[in-house]
């Protein structure tokens, strides 16, 4: 067990979108930052940054303009976390976040005033605000309905080029599919291993060769997102080898998007002075002199104790371990904050698993004041120097509303702003 | 003196035959490896390592002190007392054992030997780890030397107080001119030399003065005052209350017999076990010439090294994998004990299956960290001994890893699951694989498999590894441990812990795989496992 004697300005608890964004914003604001968190939902991300896609959920209405969607949604759900920010603040937060990512080598693209249409592995079209540059040409091909070959691999589960092409064929007649062997591998394949394998130029050459047998008359080639942990050089090389426009389509989780995002943060945060205690969870917290927080991070011999003047709780919901559900109730394990939740266990879920209206349990979370400081049982600020950000906030169903990354980034921005004001 | 001559002859025969037998091992094989020997190096080793015990000093000052006391004490007694006719008398023509400084030196050497022995016993008793390692021969060696010294002191003490011995001497060397002479001499010897006579003697100044004169005349040339026998004289005073009984039973002769007997035992035992170390260890130290490396040695040097162990136990106290011994209980994991098996093995003695298995396991578990070799006060190149036997042992009793990897699923099912009684066998540290709570949070997301470098390097993981990590977790979740235990993924895991670090649900994937391996190893270890002799390794 070790003790870090430095007193940090802020401890960011969480390493998903919200935690990473909070750490990036806080260090940019000139604070001394320590960040911790185990792998959570980020490994299950498509890598897309959704701002607002669907409202009302029960109708499944999809929006072209996310800003209008937010406005409409807030009228119906005034307690939604976006309600704590102005549209300008949300826009600034996303720009700042993608700016940070592109400085760390992971470029994001999109339109300022409308959502992008992106292909999914099922062949459906998803609306999102920003997407990785590696997927950008897919939206072009989709828009232009250009002659395109979708490629999949023997052994890669959950990605069928044939299904994708079949689903899109009606509106996109020139789309075609081909299944090839992945160079040097057989049996079941996993995206991360494939991405590592393509770091080797010889494998790209073999891949290009086998794909070109099917790609004589297409303009674009779409691959499952396995084109390198750093996609830039791999895709440039493939474009050079094939003479075609190359793009990626997300795979089923865990996809390569998680490792790419983590790699960008691993490059970007420590180099800017953030102390990262990665792959560790907070196991204890105490209030020490002057209301500072002292955290136990990790377990056993690897445990570290750190002290910070303030904290941002960005631990996510259930999968991120920010909320814990047992057979009766939902709790918040780090600060033991009260959790807004359905009255009883019976009310957690609707009868139908795929009910379009979603399940009440998925809007559970903690309550905050206007500065995103969590409230206690009495409805008062629990700790003057504790802020919350991301999915742990109550009153949103990000998976169905398509607003997960947006909430994470925007509320992280707001929390850091509250901290520095 | 029949007893003495026969005993000495027998002891010498046993000693000679034993030494020839042991030394013959050193010479019977042609030396192959390189062998660097310089006389300067040997001289340095002789002074620093053999005489001054520098290597022992590296282990602990107290142990060094104990060994020095016994070494110098016993050597003193051996040269000046046991071999007095040939050594002492040759240098000092007027030598008499009862004259000072010899009488004093004998007590001094005996006393320091005894103090050294007490320290050695305490070391073995106080250090718990060492106590468990201490075997019969370790106690026997301390006991035999201790008995020689103690019986010697008792012999001397019983002679000091004995009237019979006094009478014999008087008969031989004293002529009484007056009737009161003998009484006066007795009185003087009672007062000054501690003799104990049954009759009451006059102790007036006149008598004593007369006794002193007589003593000067007849005794003092051969007898110093017994006060210089600073151990035996106080001991004799303790014996005074039972002096008459001792005298009647001629105790000094009994003690003499014992003293001589223990010396014969020691002489005869010298070529056996650790008793041989006064000969073999210095020889090994001369061969090693101060080196503490693990470089390969010649076959002959290896044979000498095998004989040089004093069983001091320092290697086992410093062994990196000693904690494994505390879990598995196999003594062959500890260097000092493994050396016993190796010595038998090297001598071509057939080892029972059980011993061979334990020995091979000890050989396998050794990490070759060199700590035993570095610390050994006898300078034994243990590293070389372990390495030279490792491959052969691995062949004779394959490690569970190789054994299971070489088995078809059919075979490992029959060995690890269906064989009688194995199902209940668990490793000493367990509790993950059989506990549903270890897995309930698994969402089968394949993150563990995605980050696994073993799966990554496999060209066809389904073919090469049988199951992926998340599939193993799924089997365990369903209570199908026995179906997972022999999967090659379990045996190919490098325990890099990436899976465990990345698991979004905090499942201890690597720990579980490791536990499965330990479970299989425990089952293979278990007695009467039918797989032992069937193993067809590819």
> Shortest Cα distance from A40 to chain B (angstroms)?
5
Residues A81 and A396 sit within 8 Å (Cβ to Cβ):
yes
Nearest chain B alpha carbon to A321: B505
SS3 per-residue string spanning chain A? CEEEEEEEEEEEECCCHHHHHHHHHHHHCCCCEEEEECCCHHHHCCCCECCCCECCHHHCCECCCHHHHHHHHHHHCCCCHHHHCCHHHHHHHHHHHHHHHHHCCCCEECCCCCCEEEECCCCCEEEECEEEHHHHHHHHHHHHCCCEEEEEECCECCCCHHHHHHHHCCCCCCEEEEEECCCCCECCECHHHHHHHCCCHHHHHHHHHHHHCCCCCCCEEEEECCCCCCHHHHHHHHHHHHCCEEEEECCCCCCCHHHHHHHHHHHHHHHCCCEEEECECEEEEEEEHHHEEEEEECCHHHCEEEEEEEEEECCCCCCCCCCEECCCCEECCCCCCCCECCCCHHHCCCCCCCCCCCCHHHHCEECECCCCCEECCCCCECCCCEEECHHHECCCCHHHHCCHHHHHHHHHHHHHHHHHC
Q: Closest residue of B to A15, CA-based?
A: B504
DSSP letter for each residue of B119-147: HHHHHHHHSHHHHHH--HHHHHHHHHHHH
Place of tokens 């093995």: B345
Q: Chain A residue closest to B459 (CA)?
A: A185
> What DSSP designation does B351 have?
P
Mean pLDDT of A320-346: 95
Tokens 């054994």 — which residue? B403
Mutation target among B442, B447, B452, B509 for the A interface, most CBs of A within 10 A: B447
Which architecture does CATH list for A121-249? 3-Layer(aba) Sandwich (3.40)
Question: What pLDDT, in 10s, does the model give residues A380-418?
Answer: 999 999 999 999 999 999 999 999 999 999 999 999 999
Question: Which residue does chain A place closest to B451, by CA atoms?
Answer: A192
Span A270-322, pLDDT tens digits: 999 999 998 889 999 999 988 999 999 998 888 999 999 999 999 999 999 99
User: Cβ A254–B503 below 8 Å, yes or no?
Assistant: no
Closest Cα in chain A to B500: A279
Does any CB of chain B come closer than 8 Å to the CB of residue A283?
Answer: no
Judge whether residue A368 has pLDDT over 90.
yes
Residue A109, CA atoms < 13 Å, CB-side half-sphere: 11
Count Cβ–Cβ pairs < 8 Å, chain A vs chain B: 55
Domain boundaries, chain B: 163-226, 295-397, 421-525
Residue A200, burial from CB neighbour count under 10 angstroms (0-12, 13-18, 19+): middle
Say if the ipTM goes beyond 0.85. yes
- Pair B508, B437: CB distance under 8 Å: no
How much is the pLDDT for B398? 79
Residue in B with minimal Cα distance to A192: B450
Do the Cβ atoms of B199 and B76 come closer than 8 Å?
no
Contact, A197 vs A183, CB < 8 A?
Answer: yes
Shortest Cα–Cα distance, A38 to chain B (Å): 7
Which residues on A lie below 8 Å from B503 (Cβ)? 39
pLDDT tens track for A238-264: 999 999 999 999 999 888 998 899 999
- Preceding amide of B417 cis, omega within 30: no
Q: Are B283 and B308 in contact (CB under 8 A)?
A: yes
Which position has the higher pLDDT, A40 or A158?
Answer: A158
What is residue B538's predicted lDDT score, i.e. its pLDDT?
36
CB-based contact (8 Å) between A188 and chain B? Answer: yes
Residue of B nearest to A182 (CA): B459
- Answer whether the bond into residue A254 is a cis peptide, omega within 30°: yes
The answer to whether the CB atoms of B502 and A40 lie below 8 A apart is no
Residue A5 forms contact with B (CB below 8 Å)? no
B212's CB contacts (< 8 A; 6+ apart) are B188, B192
Burial code of A152-170, b = ≥16 C-beta within 10 A, e = fewer? Answer: bbebbeebbbeebbebbee
In angstroms, rounded to a whole number, what is the distance separating the alpha carbons of residues A226 and A190? Answer: 9
Contact B463 A187 (CB under 8 A): yes
Inter-chain residue contact B461 with A319, CB threshold 8 Å: no
Residues of A in contact with B459 (CB under 8 A): 184-187
Reference B257, options B171, B154, B117; nearest CA is B154
Average pLDDT, chain B: 89
Chain A residues with beta carbon closer than 8 angstroms to that of B502: 39, 43, 279
Domains B295-397 and B421-525 share a fold: yes
Mean predicted confidence (pLDDT) in A57-83: 95
Query: In chain A, what residues touch B460 (CB-CB under 8 Å)?
Result: 185-187
Chain B closest-CA separation from residue A278 CA (Å): 9
Q: Is the pLDDT of residue A421 over 90?
A: no
* A192 inside 8 A of chain B by CB: yes
Instruction: Give contacts of A 148-187 with B, CB under 8 A.
Output: 184-187
Search chain B and give the residue with CA nearest A183: B459
Residue A6 pLDDT more than 70?
Answer: yes
Chain B CA closest to residue A226 = B450
Using CB atoms, pick whichever of A44, A191, A193 lies closest to residue B455: A193
pLDDT digits (tens, 9 = 90+) for B55-112: 999 999 999 999 999 999 999 999 999 999 888 889 998 899 999 899 999 999 999 9
For residue A215, list its beta bridge partners.
Answer: none
pLDDT of residue B25: 80
Q: Where in chain A are the domains?
A: 2-107+258-420, 121-249
Q: Could you tell me the CA-to-CA distances from B319 to A25, B61, B307 in Å, in that order?
A: 52, 20, 20
Q: What is the pLDDT of residue B1?
A: 59
- Report the half-sphere exposure of A393 (CA within 13 A, side-chain side): 33
Residue A282 and residue A262 in contact, taking contact as beta carbons nearer than 8 Å: no
| Each residue's pLDDT expressed in tens, for chain B with a length of 538 residues | 588 899 999 999 999 999 998 888 887 655 555 566 788 888 999 999 999 999 999 999 999 999 999 999 999 999 999 999 888 889 998 899 999 899 999 999 999 999 999 999 999 999 998 998 899 999 999 999 999 999 999 999 999 999 889 989 989 888 888 888 889 999 999 999 999 998 888 888 989 999 999 999 889 888 999 999 999 999 999 998 888 888 888 889 999 999 999 999 999 999 998 999 999 999 999 988 888 998 888 888 888 999 999 999 999 999 999 999 988 889 999 999 999 999 998 888 888 888 898 999 999 999 999 999 999 999 999 999 999 999 988 888 778 888 888 788 788 888 888 888 888 888 878 889 998 889 888 999 999 999 999 999 988 888 889 999 999 999 999 989 988 988 999 999 999 999 998 898 889 999 999 999 999 888 887 755 555 544 444 3
pTM (predicted TM-score)? 0.71
Residues of B in contact with A321 (CB under 8 A): 506
B459, B502, B504 member nearest A319 (Cβ): B504
Q: Shortest CA distance to A178 belongs to which of A191, A165, A188, A187?
A: A165
Alpha carbons B535 and B373: distance in angstroms, whole number: 33
CA B485 to chain centre: 40
Which residues in B lie closer than 8 A to residue A43 (C-beta atoms)?
Answer: 445, 447, 502, 504
Enter the tokens of residue B162. Answer: 């004995």
pLDDT of residue B401: 81
Q: Which residues of B touch A41 (CB under 8 A)?
A: 504
Q: Determine the distance in angstroms separating the CA of B127 from the nearest CA of chain A, rounded to an integer.
A: 28
Chain B residues in contact with chain A using a Cβ-Cβ cutoff of 8 Å: 445-447, 449-451, 455-456, 458-464, 468, 501-504, 506
Report the gap between the CA of A198 and the closest CA in chain B (Å): 12
Of the residues A14, A19, A40, A43, the best mutation for testing chain B's interface (the one with the most B CB atoms within 10 Å of its CB) is: A43
Q: Hey, is B460 helix, strand or coil?
A: strand
- Residue B349 is classified by DSSP as P
Give the one of B451, B458, B504 whose C-beta lies nearest to A192's C-beta. B451
Q: Do B450 and A254 touch (CB under 8 A)?
A: yes
Choose the closest CB to B504 out of A43, A188, A193. Answer: A43
pLDDT above 50 (res A139): yes
Question: For residue A196, what is the nearest residue in chain B, using CA coordinates?
Answer: B456
Show residues of chain B in contact with A193, CB under 8 Å: 450, 455-456
Query: Cβ of B460 and A185 within 8 Å?
Result: yes
CATH architecture of A2-107+258-420: 3-Layer(bba) Sandwich (3.50)
Asked if A116 and A133 count as a contact pair (C-beta separation under 8 A), the reply is no
Please state whether the peptide bond connecting residue A56 to the residue before it is cis, i.e. omega within 30 degrees of 0.
yes
**Which CATH code, of 3.40.190.100, 1.10.1060.10, 1.10.10.10, 1.20.1370.10, is assigned to B421-525?**
1.10.1060.10
CATH class of B295-397: mainly alpha
Which residues on chain B are in Cβ contact (under 8 Å) with A254?
445-447, 450
* B450 with A193: Cβ contact below 8 A: yes
A348 touching chain B per CB within 8 A: no
| Cβ-defined contact of B506 to A191 (cutoff 8 Å) | no
Supply the pLDDT for residue B468: 94
Q: Return the number of other C-beta atoms located less than 10 Å from residue A381's C-beta.
A: 15
Instruction: Please answer yes or no on whether A192 and B468 come within 8 Å at the CB atom.
Output: no
Kindly determine whether residue A187 and residue B456, on different chains, have CB atoms separated by under 8 Å. Answer: no
Q: Which residues of B touch A184 (CB under 8 A)?
A: 459
Domains A2-107+258-420 and A121-249 share a fold: no
Identify all chain A residues contacting B501, using CB atoms and an 8 Å cutoff.
Answer: 39, 279
A15 has pLDDT over 70: yes
**What is residue B536's predicted lDDT score, i.e. its pLDDT?**
43
Contact residues, chain A, for B455 at CB < 8 Å: 190, 193
Question: What is the sign, positive or negative, of the torsion defined by CA atoms of A43, A45, A49, A53?
Answer: negative
Q: Which residues of A touch B506 (CB under 8 A)?
A: 38, 281, 321
């Amino acid at each position: 067990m070790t003790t870090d004697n430095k007193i940090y300005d802020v401890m960011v608890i969480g390493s998903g979108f919200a935690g990473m964004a909070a750490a990036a914003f806080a260090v940019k604001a000139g604070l001394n930052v320590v960040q911790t968190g185990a792998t959570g939902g980020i490994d299950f991300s498509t890598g897309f940054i959704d701002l607002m896609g669907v409202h009302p959920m029960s109708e499944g209405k999809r929006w072209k303009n996310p800003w209008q969607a937010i406005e409409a949604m807030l009228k119906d759900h005034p307690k939604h976390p976006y309600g704590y920010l102005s549209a300008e603040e949300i826009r600034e937060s996303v720009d700042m976040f993608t700016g940070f990512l592109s400085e760390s080598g992971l470029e994001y693209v999109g339109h300022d005033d409308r959502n992008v249409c992106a292909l999914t592995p099922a062949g459906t079209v998803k609306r999102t605000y920003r997407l990785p540059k590696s997927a950008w040409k897919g939206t072009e091909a989709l828009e232009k309905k250009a002659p395109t070959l979708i490629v999949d691999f023997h052994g890669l589960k959950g990605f069928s080029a044939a299904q994708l092409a079949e689903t899109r064929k009606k509106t996109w007649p020139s789309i075609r599919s081909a299944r090839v062997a992945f160079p040097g591998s057989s049996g079941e394949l996993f995206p991360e291993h494939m991405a590592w394998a393509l770091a080797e130029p010889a494998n790209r050459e073999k891949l290009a060769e086998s794909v070109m047998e099917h790609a004589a008359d297409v303009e674009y080639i779409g691959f499952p997102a396995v084109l390198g942990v750093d996609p830039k050089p791999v895709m440039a090389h493939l474009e050079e080898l094939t003479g075609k426009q190359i793009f990626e389509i997300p795979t089923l989780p865990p996809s390569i998007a998680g490792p790419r995002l983590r790699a960008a943060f691993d490059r970007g945060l420590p180099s800017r002075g953030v102390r990262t205690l990665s792959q560790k969870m907070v196991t204890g917290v105490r209030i020490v002199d002057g209301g500072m927080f002292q955290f136990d991070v990790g377990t056993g011999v690897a445990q570290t104790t750190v002290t910070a003047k303030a904290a941002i709780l960005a631990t996510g919901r259930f999968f991120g371990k920010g909320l814990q559900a047992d057979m009766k109730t939902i709790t918040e394990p780090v600060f033991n904050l009260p959790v807004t939740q359905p009255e009883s266990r019976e009310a957690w879920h609707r009868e139908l698993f795929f009910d379009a209206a979603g399940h009440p349990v998925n809007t559970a979370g903690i309550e905050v004041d206007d500065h995103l400081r969590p409230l206690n049982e009495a409805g008062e600020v629990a700790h003057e120097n504790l802020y919350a950000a991301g999915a742990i906030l109550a009153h949103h169903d990000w998976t169905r509303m398509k607003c997960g990354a947006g909430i994470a980034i925007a509320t992280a921005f707001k929390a850091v702003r509250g901290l520095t004001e | 003196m029949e007893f003495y001559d026969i005993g000495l002859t027998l002891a010498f025969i046993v000693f000679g035959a034993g030494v020839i037998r042991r030394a013959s091992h050193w010479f019977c094989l042609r030396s192959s490896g390189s062998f660097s020997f310089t006389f300067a190096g040997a001289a340095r080793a002789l002074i620093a390592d053999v005489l001054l015990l520098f290597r022992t000093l590296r282990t602990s000052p107290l142990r060094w002190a104990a060994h020095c006391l016994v070494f110098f004490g016993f050597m003193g007694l051996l040269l000046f007392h046991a071999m007095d006719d040939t050594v002492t008398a040759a240098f000092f023509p007027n030598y008499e054992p009862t004259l000072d400084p010899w009488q004093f030196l004998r007590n001094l050497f005996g006393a320091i030997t005894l103090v050294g022995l007490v320290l050695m016993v305490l070391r073995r008793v106080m250090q718990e780890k060492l106590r468990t390692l201490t075997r019969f021969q370790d106690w026997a060696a301390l006991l035999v030397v201790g008995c020689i010294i103690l019986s010697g002191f008792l012999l001397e003490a019983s002679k000091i107080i004995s009237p019979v011995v006094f009478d014999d001497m008087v008969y031989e060397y004293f002529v009484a001119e007056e009737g009161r002479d003998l009484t006066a001499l007795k009185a003087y010897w009672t007062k000054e030399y501690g003799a104990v006579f049954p009759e009451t003697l006059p102790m007036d100044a006149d008598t004593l003065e007369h006794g002193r004169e007589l003593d000067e005349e007849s005794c003092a040339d051969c007898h110093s005052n017994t006060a210089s026998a600073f151990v035996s004289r106080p001991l004799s005073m303790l014996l005074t209350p039972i002096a008459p009984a001792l005298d009647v039973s001629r105790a000094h002769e009994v003690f003499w017999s014992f003293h001589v007997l223990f010396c014969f035992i020691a002489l005869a035992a010298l070529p056996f076990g650790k008793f041989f170390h006064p000969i073999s260890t210095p020889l090994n130290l001369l061969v090693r010439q101060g080196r503490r490396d693990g470089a390969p040695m010649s076959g002959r040097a290896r044979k000498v090294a095998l004989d040089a162990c004093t069983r001091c136990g320092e290697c086992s106290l410093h062994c990196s994998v000693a904690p494994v011994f505390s879990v598995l209980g196999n003594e062959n994991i500890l260097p000092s004990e493994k050396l016993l098996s190796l010595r038998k093995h090297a001598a071509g003695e057939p080892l029972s299956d059980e011993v061979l298995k334990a020995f091979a396991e000890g050989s396998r578990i050794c990490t070759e960290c060199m700590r035993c070799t570095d610390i050994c006060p006898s300078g034994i190149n243990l590293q070389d001994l372990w390495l030279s036997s490792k491959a052969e042992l691995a062949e004779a009793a394959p490690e569970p890893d190789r054994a299971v990897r070489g088995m078809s699923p059919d075979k490992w099912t029959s060995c690890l699951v269906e064989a009688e009684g194995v199902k209940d066998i668990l490793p000493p540290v367990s509790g993950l694989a059989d506990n549903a709570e270890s897995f309930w949070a698994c969402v089968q997301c394949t993150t563990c498999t995605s980050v696994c470098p073993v799966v990554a390097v496999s060209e066809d993981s389904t073919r090469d590894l049988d199951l992926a990590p998340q599939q193993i977790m799924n089997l365990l979740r369903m209570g199908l441990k026995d179906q997972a235990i022999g999967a090659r993924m379990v045996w190919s895991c490098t325990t890099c812990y990436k899976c465990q670090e990345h698991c979004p649900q905090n499942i201890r994937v690597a720990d579980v795989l490791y536990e499965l391996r330990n479970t299989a190893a425990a089952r293979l270890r278990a007695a009467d496992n039918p797989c032992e002799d069937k193993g067809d390794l590819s």
